[in-house]
Amino acid sequence: MGLLSGFLSFEKPMGETLTRILFYLGIAGILWHAVQRFWFWLTYIDNDWDTALWGMIKTPFMAIISLLILRVVAEFVLAQFRMDKSLHDQVTGRAAPPQAD
């Protein structure tokens, strides 16, 4: 129960954890879709081999581009959560004072 109560408590924001979970689910979804599309194009070779070949070449590139876009979006969301926490700490006075050089 300790892990579950720690996960469901409101003492720590869940945004970063939820973003990471959704990021990993997104990776699994993109890879699953890429395998499905590759299998589709592999079985389509009998009908139109040049279109199927183009599809098999294009599928890994589209998966890589999708993974990069997912990473950028996840990093942007995590940066927003970090800025929110930083601003919250400054407003409430919990942030460390700036160091004078």
The CA angle 19-35-27, to the nearest 5 degrees, is 10
Q: Which of 20, 66, 60, 16 is nearest to 42 (CA)?
A: 60
pLDDT value, residue 34: 97
* Domain coordinates in residue numbering, the chain: 15-90
The predicted-structure confidence for 51-81, as pLDDT tens digits, reads as follows 999 999 999 999 999 999 999 999 999 888 8
What's the pLDDT tens digit per position in 4-19? 776 676 667 778 888 9
Cα–Cα distances (Å) from 44 to 31, 33, 50, in that order, read 20, 16, 10
Cα–Cα distance for residue pair 46/38, rounded to 1 Å: 14
Contact, 52 vs 42, CB < 8 A? yes
